[in-house]
Structure 1
């Protein structure tokens, strides 16, 4: 039975604070609201000077969320204005940033796979390895291919002590509302060691965890299709640094991530708008293998030097990554055949190697005018394929070489007026081999595609102005461009033409306009608001055709607002709120903007609120509230069913709660997600309008965590 949102939740919601506020865990860390310095803009600067809307998810927030919902897609969905809630699955297809895809980075290493999207790039690292996350909204010219919705740079942890050895051990156990069938329990173990000896510093972190079977608010097993239940996760982070001198440093980072589902449940399809898809105990098909990310390796070797030349710093890095992720098993379906009418299970394999060289020159023009000039060169080699587990290739191995010189300048005049201007020129060559399209039906004509090379040359630039003389009103305006080879492999695997040159493979280019302001009122209140508008001549989302997702090439525009507030009400009480709303339209053949973009890209409005309170020293309480709006703008098709991506999305109201206490070196906490045990369908399951994916979200989940630091 569907549970109603009680009046108690509304009363609590009126006093809770924003998802992007600083999450503090004790009285001594709640004394003031601080300005935050970001580095993802390639020039370290205060967030309010960036001439863009920036969200910082700091270490305190990540620690708190790891106790409530230790999954990256949940964390970003709950804490990032402009991003939809998690689908509660391994897929992040409906989790766009301001209606478009974002470029996901780990310490600057691209996780996105533009040659063939995995929709898994958000879930490529465990929260235990993360120090903080920097999210720059809007298309950007700073990093090139893929950043048409913005950048999400995940910064890994590093040593923070001068002691030779220090560390912490964390143990956590969770249960779904004390579920009695023995399948709702999970656990997590994290061990960290870090320290410094002379010029050498290090950090080693290892995490292993397993979730129980996912259970909804009615005590029913949730369908395991793409599910996060019965999943074991392993993450290892190693970071080693050595100071060559007082000005130069070399650093090595390696991170390994694995997340695989191992369940005794099999999915039982639901009925859209009638009943949910559930999990039932049974035997899976003998051809099926565990789905999930079998491995994601990331590593870099970085050299930094201050004043390598006069007034000039250098950062140079080589990096590499290797990803293998397996999707769900599909039983042969005569009504909707694929893979030559056989059962199968597809995967994506991705390999990257690259290097970055960046110089930063500091220029003093006069006593009241100075500038920072960043310039350099990026190179990325990428190869990607989409094989089936049985060895057949659904998409052949594609190889790309991306060369990109760039320059970014920030000038400060009169110490309060900032001008930013930058550009990047990408040269991308993609090599496509001769290949045979894997037919859906054996009776379909065989298409043999003559391969070749695709060449993309693109100039992107950005300009921004910000004014910071008056702390209470710090406005900015900005224009930025972005481009993306949007899921090229999806287009190639469904080719109808026999020659590569006849296939539409143009990149998506976006123009992003934004106006906004930051405000600091005393030391107790921070405000931020912005309006944005983005246009693309070619579309950057997906549409359904004959049961398969294909790239929608219709012109698009997206526009919306973001508002946020953080307040220190008392020395031991912080609160605030954030709101994001945006809309997307398609241009029809008549030239009018009279068609809505799919719900996949344009989620309903989202309101986030929360409160942090420390009633006595070394104790903390946190209450978080999330509300999403309703979307019902599409009509059923001729058969009476909704097209995929156009389903009815109902409102959602959620409460999460956490309480804890610090006792010397110990930290004990109790966290409850979905406090009221609210039964609801996930936004993505509603909008997809698929019987197999029409699933409930998790019910009440209780987690006990103990951390010992030494």
Structure 2
């Protein structure tokens, strides 16, 4: 007992001694009008020591080593600022920091690019961040996340206007969709319904990393989209946000009126903080520019959507936190309409007709996301650490189809269990050379299948185990030159049991075209060694260049190969994984109130990712691919109450059919529309009146032409090769702040009632997806924040 008591006394003495050898920094962050800037991020450069300012803009950093330090302060909507602070042992150093307004939140802290918090101007690659303000602005027009992202993100293909984002690629390749870093995509059987994984009211911001990346593992061939969920916005114990609204067609209002309600409570008391929210939306009939009801296949009309969200956090100390997050989302279509298929050759659109629907409601039957995260700072060698475990399960139900014997509906079922541990250790070689090393291990078990709702097996269970250790180095030289480099190992094994292919029907003749036969399962294994490196030079705001090389890793869509197998052993199916090389170079220029950004990119892979039917078997084209393109963005604060901006994105890609290393031969062919989108133009104008109480936002999205293919021997265009004709969409919204806590909002989607076929309807050439886009529609809402 005496020995234990002596040990405790010694530990206390050592702790007191250690505290006495440090100092603290106390400060306040203001804007240029001397108003406090709450919830801004404050951290010491070259360390993982940081804090967030309170409602009064105040912060405290404890346990700081004596000496001279560089304090970096950033906040959404402000330019990043850094100041020098000298800390004396046992004393508190005071500092006041003034932030200037930024034209965009370009100094915002992001986490998706490197798995550690950093500002955008520290990342040597192209990133688009949609802030909560931007999301709320676009929700005045539409709550469909595929539309919001398409209108905001250069390089993302045009919205399909449906529940399916198939063909909505990012820079010509598939993307990985995540919620707080938890994967929502199902690359083993990519159903392309992952963008609508939660309700936008549960989202704090969206981070889009463009170009192949392996930072989160399998599936990010074209980049990643990470939905960062809501966090408490106030330091008081209870705050709330209530939204009620309605909307419908402006062309033909009958049966089109829907409703939406959302309620959120959030707050912080002591060391505990929370966010609890629920949302419900019921849409009416969606109608095109002619007033006709849009068909139900992948439809969003007559849909009931529910979202429940809980986030609980507990700060053991100012630098150690435990956080539990759960989100549930469902969105099912309940309709009495059936599709009446049109004809692509005669340009007759697919319609909706009343009738008795078959099967169960299509859509997201339920998407569960549960995660537990422990994070903190000041671990060994002053390291920041993060450890989390997660569970995700989803059932996505598709429309009823006669292609199955006696008809049926398929659904993609996916269950993921994962764990991740990460450390970030800072280092400082001299006053002008510092950085950090980030390293860790990701473990993922993904079990995905595609059965029919009635229990028949179409795609058997694919059980994947993915182990991936990684290391990432960041070095800052004289505060201006940022170098990054990293390495990641992907070790993947996928097991498939023996199965029998499903009997299917030729819908034209009514005869069985696949009688079903036994296929031997087995084990598939992949190993990939992936690199990335990049440079960014921040010396001058007039011209900030960056360049990077990164590799991504993606397994083939194994499920679609298994379900159409014509061989008796999966070992005979071409399922090799794909490694993508992404090269990009760009710049940012700030010229007064004007900001410009341009980036060019090239993406290559030795193995292809597109597929086709050959001799009745669906195969992935293994020949090399090359995709290239560029993106441009311009934003200007013309007046204090007027801002404008525009973007342009272009992408093109070809297959090296004769595999001679050249993409200019006659044999080489362009990639189809399911991969390559037409050029996209966007523009916006924001105008404020009455001391910012009345806000207008005018938004334009233009889709250009793409014609790369000739008519086939049947005198029509093959699947994925139809020409895309241009179309233009204009949205308008207005928001009036009635009181400090209440605002009234109006939005109009497709203001000019453009009568058009979305890009996917044009290049696909199939009758079942040959549907028109949504016509003019209105949305009215009221928001009360207390």
User: TM-score, structure 2 length as denominator?
Assistant: 0.84
What is the SS of the residue equivalent to 2:483?
Answer: strand
Equivalent pair of 1:556/1:587 in contact (CA under 8 Å)? yes
Deviation at 1:641, TM superposition (A): 2.2
Partner of 1:363: 427
Match of 1:128 among 193, 201, 204: 201
Partner of 2:378: 307
Match of 1:320 among 381, 384, 391: 391
1:400 aligns with 2:472: no
Runs of 4+ in 1 over 6 A off after TM superposition: 546-549
What is the SS of the residue equivalent to 1:171?
Answer: strand
Match of 1:239 among 303, 311, 330: 311
1:413 aligns with 2:477: yes
1:297 aligns with 2:297: no
The separation in 1 between residues aligned to 2:102 and 2:476, in whole angstroms, is: 30
Equivalent pair of 1:230/1:262 in contact (CA under 8 Å)? yes
Distance 1:547 1:436, change over 3 A: closer
Equivalent pair of 1:23/1:64 in contact (CA under 8 Å)? no
Partner of 2:412: 348
Mapping 1:3-402, distance limit 5 Å: 32-34=103-105, 35-41=107-113, 42-177=115-250, 179-181=252-254, 183-272=255-344, 273-285=346-358, 288-331=359-402, 338-339=403-404, 341-402=405-466
1:435 aligns with 2:507: no
Partner of 2:689: 615
What is the SS of the residue equivalent to 1:344?
Answer: coil
Deviation at 1:521, TM superposition (A): 2.2
What is the SS of the residue equivalent to 2:409?
Answer: strand
Distance 1:556 1:443, change over 3 A: closer
Match of 1:631 among 684, 700, 706: 706
What is the SS of the residue equivalent to 1:284?
Answer: coil
Give the unaligned 5+ runs of structure 2.
1-75, 79-99, 506-511
Partner of 1:448: 518
The separation in 2 between residues aligned to 1:404 and 1:300, in whole angstroms, is: 19
Partner of 1:670: 746
Distance 1:548 1:246, change over 3 A: same
The separation in 2 between residues aligned to 1:101 and 1:234, in whole angstroms, is: 27
Equivalent pair of 1:306/1:314 in contact (CA under 8 Å)? yes
Partner of 2:674: 600
Distance 1:694 1:443, change over 3 A: closer
What is the SS of the residue equivalent to 2:194?
Answer: coil
Deviation at 1:172, TM superposition (A): 0.8
Mapping 1:458-607, distance limit 5 Å: 458-522=528-592, 524-543=593-612, 550-589=619-658, 591=660, 592-593=662-663, 594-607=668-681
Per-residue CA deviations over 1:495-524 (Å, capped at 9, x if unaligned) read 2222222221100111111111112223x2
Partner of 2:17: none
What is the SS of the residue equivalent to 2:146?
Answer: helix
Give the unaligned 5+ runs of structure 1.
1-21, 332-337
Equivalent pair of 1:260/1:290 in contact (CA under 8 Å)? yes
Equivalent pair of 1:543/1:552 in contact (CA under 8 Å)? yes
Aligned residue pairs: how many?
A: 675
What is the SS of the residue equivalent to 2:164?
Answer: coil
Equivalent pair of 1:33/1:525 in contact (CA under 8 Å)? no
Distance 1:97 1:547, change over 3 A: farther
The separation in 2 between residues aligned to 1:102 and 1:31, in whole angstroms, is: 30
Equivalent pair of 2:631/2:650 in contact (CA under 8 Å)? yes
Distance 1:496 1:116, change over 3 A: same
Distance 1:666 1:445, change over 3 A: closer
Deviation at 1:310, TM superposition (A): 2.8
Deviation at 1:550, TM superposition (A): 4.9
The separation in 1 between residues aligned to 2:141 and 2:186, in whole angstroms, is: 29
1:640 aligns with 2:715: yes
The separation in 1 between residues aligned to 2:212 and 2:251, in whole angstroms, is: 45
Which moved further from structure 2: 144-153 or 534-543?
534-543
Deviation at 1:448, TM superposition (A): 1.7
Equivalent pair of 1:33/1:568 in contact (CA under 8 Å)? no
Equivalent pair of 1:30/1:573 in contact (CA under 8 Å)? no
What is the SS of the residue equivalent to 1:343?
Answer: coil
Equivalent pair of 1:538/1:556 in contact (CA under 8 Å)? yes
Equivalent pair of 1:311/1:363 in contact (CA under 8 Å)? no
The separation in 2 between residues aligned to 1:225 and 1:66, in whole angstroms, is: 24
What is the SS of the residue equivalent to 1:645?
Answer: coil
User: TM-score, structure 1 length as denominator?
Assistant: 0.92
